Chain A
Amino acid sequence: MNRLEFRDVTMRFADASGRASITAIQGVSFSIADGEVVALIGPSGCGKSTLLNIGSGLYAPSAGQAFVDGERVAGPSRHVAFMLQKDLLLPWRTIAQNVALGVEIQGQTKSECARRATELLRGFNLADFAGRYPHQLSGGMRQRVALARTLAIDPSVLLLDEPFSAVDAQTRISLQHDLAQTLKRAGKTALLITHDLLEAVILSDRVLVMSARPGRIVDEIPIEIGYRDEPLRRRQDGKVAGYMARLMDRLEIARPASDQPQAPQPA
């Protein structure tokens, strides 16, 4: 069964002058099966985040439809949770209260909120920090708390928008490990937007490549490496280089930049 599906989704915005419209994404269709993790990469401004906002029901698409668990997305729903590059922790709430934000909004009792927060924080080795405030935690810990908050509402689909791009390289590796383990253990479905090609390859079952604006899906690469819950082991796998090369080619990273017209064009 498809947990998340986009059917021919197009999104247009008014431009700065308000007269013309800009097409951010054009006719995007893909689906994500139950328990699958799909990475989405593409150049800056190709509409990746717009797609995520449509999936979470924050924006309505100009044309086409998004479906979660077979139901058409008509607004924010309890089945979808998103996580951004910014941790978006509320400074006046303790770590435990931050984790419980979603369940609290959804009307759970105080004791149930506290129980879920405690359970998740224990899973992320953050139980000792439950009573602390966000400013007392490191960037990596804060991002872990944000992930715990996302999981607290027990969503069917996680939408992750460059969740680790603001943390340092070493922290990122450990966060990637945590995420992979958590997704596997909980059997969650996820759409992971990232700029990091290696991250896309080692964390996902499938990589979708988007073109520059107007964004459309130009390639789909199944990652056939296995042990998706062990990104550290995946990093060592010999097949990674091949996938990276194909992604770089698709994103036209290896080719000379357009501001060097004299350089010879590869065949």
Chain B
Amino acid sequence: MTPISRSALIRRGTAASIALLVIFLAAWEWGPRLLGIPSFIVPPASAVYAEFIRMLSVNHLLFHTGVTAAEVIAGFILGSLLGAVFGYLLGMSPTAEFALSPYILALQIAPKVAFAPLFIMWMGFTVYPKILVAILIVFFPVMVNVLTAIRGIDPDLINLARSFTASRAQIFWKIEFPSSMPPLFASLRIGATLAVVGVVVGELVGGNFGLGYLLTFGEGQANTPMVFVCILMLTLIGGIAYLAVIWLEQRVLHYVPARPLGGL
């Protein structure tokens, strides 16, 4: 793609996006009233905004958002690290992969969010069970992608390094590790959004802090705008985490040919 058509694409695309946002907000504000939907089912945008302002002072919204964000970050980083390490270890040892694969598969099939009540029984109403659910849920896509990447490396590439008398460690750091970067980042994008799911489920199940707690609190009071505010804040956390991964990806994978709009 030429730089001119690329910049034109960005200009036109941005304008269309902003137009869509305006249309969406207008539809949200006036649509329910026009269709006769009561505001306790779909509150208009202005009511949700008013609730947001109210929650900032009355419900310590920023505190709860901060707790949830911190749990997401901790769960995402630990889950990714653990997933990557296991992916590399299993990728380098076919025996270990063969021996462990039934158990890994079983754990992968088990719905991770179902572990949340168990973790809360073990660790109480603390931040730890929430982080643990996030770790578990982020772990698998990262591990599977890294494992597949290591397995998929062209054996001739490994032979090339071997013919240069490379040691096992050199083969890993010069060939295998960099080869795994694109699939690793693809899984980190997925992991960034999954971490939010894990944390919220943990908070929904038990505890008295975090956006998941506010969600159930709002539900209990039949406060629809509060539920909407929580959903928006959770989306914001997930979005920022996703953008952070993309920011890092563009720095690490700078050698990959440019895709339109950085492949959002």
Which A residues are within 8 Å of any B CB, using their own CB? 53, 56-58, 76-78, 80-82, 84, 86, 88, 90-93, 101-102, 104-106, 133, 135, 153
B154 close to A58 (CB less than 8 A)? no
With both beta carbons as reference points, the residue of chain B lying nearest to A132 in the complex is identified as: B255
Stretch at the interface among B16-24, B107-115, B121-129, B164-172: B164-172
B255 close to A105 (CB less than 8 A)? no
From B154, B178, B255, residue with most partner A Cβ within 10 Å: B255
Chain B residues within 8 Å of A58, by CB: 159, 162-163
B164 close to A91 (CB less than 8 A)? no
B165 close to A77 (CB less than 8 A)? yes
29 contacts between A and B (CB under 8 A): A53-B159, A56-B163, A57-B163, A58-B159, A76-B162, A76-B164, A76-B165, A77-B165, A78-B165, A80-B163, A81-B163, A82-B160, A84-B156, A86-B154, A88-B154, A90-B174, A90-B175, A90-B178, A92-B181, A92-B255, A93-B255, A102-B164, A104-B174, A105-B161, A105-B174, A106-B164, A133-B255, A135-B255, A135-B257
Chain B residues within 8 Å of A153, by CB: 164
- CA gap between A90 and B156 in the complex, in Å: 12
Chain B residues within 8 Å of A76, by CB: 162-165
- The number of inter-chain residue pairs (CB within 8 angstroms) is 54
- CA gap between A178 and B92 in the complex, in Å: 39
B164 close to A105 (CB less than 8 A)? yes
In the complex where A101-B174, A105-B174, A135-B257 touch, is A88 in contact with B156 (Cβ < 8 A)? yes
In the complex where A84-B156, A91-B256, A92-B181 touch, is A106 in contact with B163 (Cβ < 8 A)? no
A88 close to B157 (CB less than 8 A)? yes
Shortest beta-carbon distance, B50 to chain A, in Å?
51
- CA gap between A94 and B94 in the complex, in Å: 32
Shortest beta-carbon distance, A94 to chain B, in Å?
8
With both beta carbons as reference points, the residue of chain A lying nearest to B171 in the complex is identified as: A105
Chain B residues within 8 Å of A81, by CB: 163-164
**Interface residues of chain B: helix, strand, loop or mixed (majority):** helix
Chain A residues within 8 Å of B154, by CB: 86, 88
- CA gap between A153 and B255 in the complex, in Å: 25
- CA gap between A91 and B68 in the complex, in Å: 38
With both beta carbons as reference points, the residue of chain A lying nearest to B257 in the complex is identified as: A135
- CA gap between A106 and B174 in the complex, in Å: 12
B160 close to A88 (CB less than 8 A)? yes
- CA gap between A88 and B158 in the complex, in Å: 10
Beyond A53-B159, A82-B163, A91-B256, 14 extra complex contacts between A and B, CB < 8 Å:
A58-B159, A58-B162, A58-B163, A77-B165, A80-B163, A81-B164, A84-B160, A86-B156, A90-B157, A91-B255, A101-B160, A105-B166, A135-B255, A135-B257
Shortest beta-carbon distance, B70 to chain A, in Å?
33
Digitize B24-49: 1 where CB-to-A-CB distance is under 8 Å, 0 elsewhere. 00000000000000000000000000
Within 8 A of A (CB), among B126-182: 154, 156-157, 159-166, 170, 174-175, 178, 181
Closest 10 CB pairs between A and B? A102-B164, A105-B164, A105-B166, A133-B255, A92-B178, A76-B163, A92-B255, A56-B163, A76-B165, A88-B160
Shortest beta-carbon distance, B152 to chain A, in Å?
14
Shortest beta-carbon distance, B150 to chain A, in Å?
15
Chain B residues within 8 Å of A93, by CB: 255
- CA gap between A12 and B129 in the complex, in Å: 56
Shortest beta-carbon distance, B1 to chain A, in Å?
14
Digitize B180-191: 1 where CB-to-A-CB distance is under 8 Å, 0 elsewhere. 010000000000
Chain A residues within 8 Å of B175, by CB: 90
- CA gap between A166 and B109 in the complex, in Å: 44
Chain B residues within 8 Å of A57, by CB: 163
- CA gap between A56 and B166 in the complex, in Å: 13
Shortest beta-carbon distance, A165 to chain B, in Å?
14
Chain A residues within 8 Å of B160, by CB: 82, 84, 88, 101
Shortest beta-carbon distance, A127 to chain B, in Å?
20
